[in-house]
Every structure is written in structure tokens, then in C-alpha cells.
């Protein structure tokens, strides 16, 4: 099992920046692919960004390309999501997920993740 705890959410004005963190415990972080998802009220949880277990290779939802950056520091067992140029539509609860690696492709479907954090709220004011 792996335990995931998100932090870094808060209130920010449109156009601002925020960095989310996901701290992992109970495992070696480098053994898992990691991803960020988000869920707004009344909507399904949607994919945001993915990073391979070894780092370097990433994949982003079209809605956040060029604005968000996912990274990981395996020495700290932590995954980050740097969010720039935030828009009101980015407001949501952000969750990190973990799963064993899949060869040859990114994993961006919610049902393929079996470990989740509790989420951290991001609010963007206009």
C-alpha cells in the first residue's frame, strides 16, 4: 500500500500561480507512475497530468498544456504540480494518484489508478 497526502491548495487570483505537493509514504516513490486529477462540484474527476516512475516523460491534458508542470523528487517521495496562469475553470479539488507502471504509454484514465490522496482545494477568483 501507499499513502498519499496532497497539500498546497488555496485561494489565488486568476493569472496567479500555485504549487501543489503530493507526499507519498509506505513505498519507494520511484516504483510507481504518478498523476494529478481534479474534480469540480458536479463534475467527474478528470485527468490533469502524468509522470512516469523514472521521471522525464510526462503527459498533460490539453486544457493545462503550457500552464501546468508535473515533476517529482524521488529522494523526498514527493510529486509536484506547478500551476501557472490559473483560470477560474481550474478551480477544483486536486487529487494525486499512483499505480504500477504501464509499458509504452501514459496512464490518464481515472479507473486505472488504485491509490488516491484526500485532495486539496484550489479556488481561483476572477
pLDDT digits (tens, 9 = 90+) for 29-44: 568 899 999 999 999 9
What mean pLDDT comes out for the span 53-68?
A: 94
Count of Cβ atoms closer than 10 Å to residue 42 Cβ: 5
> Could you tell me how far CA 119 lies from the centroid of its own chain?
10
Q: Which residues pair with 47 in a beta bridge?
A: 37
pLDDT at res. 71: 96
Q: Convert the pLDDT of each residue in 66-87 to its tens digit.
A: 999 999 998 888 999 999 999 9
How is residue 32 annotated by DSSP?
A: S
Whether residue 92 is predicted with pLDDT greater than 80 in this model: the reply is: yes
Q: Average pLDDT, whole number, for the chain?
A: 94
CB 82 within 8 Å of CB 17: yes
Count of Cβ atoms closer than 10 Å to residue 69 Cβ: 16
CA 111 to CA 78: how far, in whole Å? 22
Q: Which comes out higher in pLDDT, residue 47 or 1? A: 47
Q: How far is CA 47 from CA 28, 62, 76, 106, 126, in A?
A: 23, 10, 24, 11, 23
Q: What is the largest CA-CA distance in the chain?
A: 41
Amino acid at each position: 500500500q501507499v499513502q498519499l497526502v496532497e497539500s498546497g491548495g488555496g485561494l489565488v487570483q486568476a493569472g496567479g500561480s500555485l504549487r501543489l505537493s503530493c507526499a507519498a509514504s509506505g513505498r519507494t516513490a520511484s516504483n510507481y507512475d504518478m498523476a494529478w486529477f481534479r474534480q469540480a462540484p458536479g463534475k467527474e474527476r478528470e485527468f490533469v497530468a502524468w509522470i512516469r516512475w523514472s521521471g522525464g516523460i510526462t503527459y498533460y491534458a490539453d486544457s493545462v498544456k503550457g500552464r501546468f508542470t508535473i515533476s517529482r523528487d524521488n529522494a523526498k517521495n514527493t510529486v509536484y504540480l506547478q500551476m501557472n496562469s490559473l483560470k477560474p475553470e481550474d478551480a477544483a479539488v486536486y487529487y494525486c494518484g499512483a499505480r504500477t507502471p504501464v509499458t509504452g504509454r501514459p496512464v490518464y484514465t481515472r479507473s486505472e489508478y488504485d491509490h488516491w490522496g484526500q485532495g486539496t482545494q484550489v479556488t481561483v477568483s476572477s
